[in-house]
Amino acid sequence: MTETAVAVVAGVGPGLGRAAAERFAAAGAKVAMLARDAAKLDGLAATNPEHLKPYACSVTDPEAVSDTFQRIERELGTPDCVVFNAGTFQRGSVVDTDPAEFERCWRVGCFGGFLVGQAAAKAMLPRGRGTILLTGATASLRGGANFVNLASPKFALRAVAQSMARELGPQGIHVAHIIIDGQISSPRYADLAADRAPDGMLAPEAIAEVYYSLHCQHRSAWSHEVDLRPWVERF
């Protein structure tokens, strides 16, 4: 990745989003970090102000997504890689799930992915190159009991990724879907990690390395779907 490259990470929190932003920045990219509250990203941006740039954006708002991508193009340049990592989840049984909550989870996890992917494609197509990476989960493949609010958007996001890849690939845009099949390590899961085998949870930095490697793949050997899991995870 060159010094003039531009990456966008939509859905930057303390875990994978942060790690992905830092990995692309380490490669020399200007990284636009998207979150609903850009102020929450100020501390991260301050660690590398030359390369990490915070942008306030709700991924479920079509106008906000469009406006943010236009602003990124003006301020940083055309994105070379866009990562969609936004999501939300409220565990609950089918009979107890609030329909409004179900819709909210779908809007963030699937509709948001469509909006970000669409904006990325519009920016990349005139140049005929770019990478769009979408974060999936175990729920992308199978719906578990009490996980209806996660399975629905993740199943749907996988379908969006497949359609995008088949349409955009022949036009030079690499679209990949990454299934995170396990628990990502973070400070809030420290107690859970203590009960696991060493490296029993996915390290955000290790996942981010895979994201970066996907962006660097030669187009003669693109991966569309990659699944990642710790060595102790059953599948």
CATH, residue 156: 3.40.50.720
Is residue 2 one of the residues assigned to a domain?
no
Q: Which domain holds residue 205?
A: 11-228
Is residue 216 one of the residues assigned to a domain?
yes
Is residue 3 one of the residues assigned to a domain?
no
- Residue 136: how many CA atoms within 13 Å on its side-chain side? 30
CA distances for 209 relative to 10, 172, 201, 216, 228, angstroms: 17, 22, 16, 11, 12
User: How far is the C-alpha of 230 from the C-alpha of 235, rounded, in Å?
Assistant: 11
DSSP state of 11: S
Is residue 217 one of the residues assigned to a domain?
yes
Residue 215 has pLDDT above 60, yes or no: yes
Residue 164 has pLDDT above 80, yes or no: yes
- When pLDDT is cut at 50, 70 and 90, the band that residue 208 belongs to is very high
Is residue 6 one of the residues assigned to a domain?
no
Is residue 117 one of the residues assigned to a domain?
yes
Count of domains observed in the chain: 1
- When pLDDT is cut at 50, 70 and 90, the band that residue 124 belongs to is very high
Tens of pLDDT, residues 67-112: 999 999 999 999 999 999 998 888 888 999 899 999 999 999 999 9
Is residue 153 one of the residues assigned to a domain?
yes
Is residue 223 one of the residues assigned to a domain?
yes
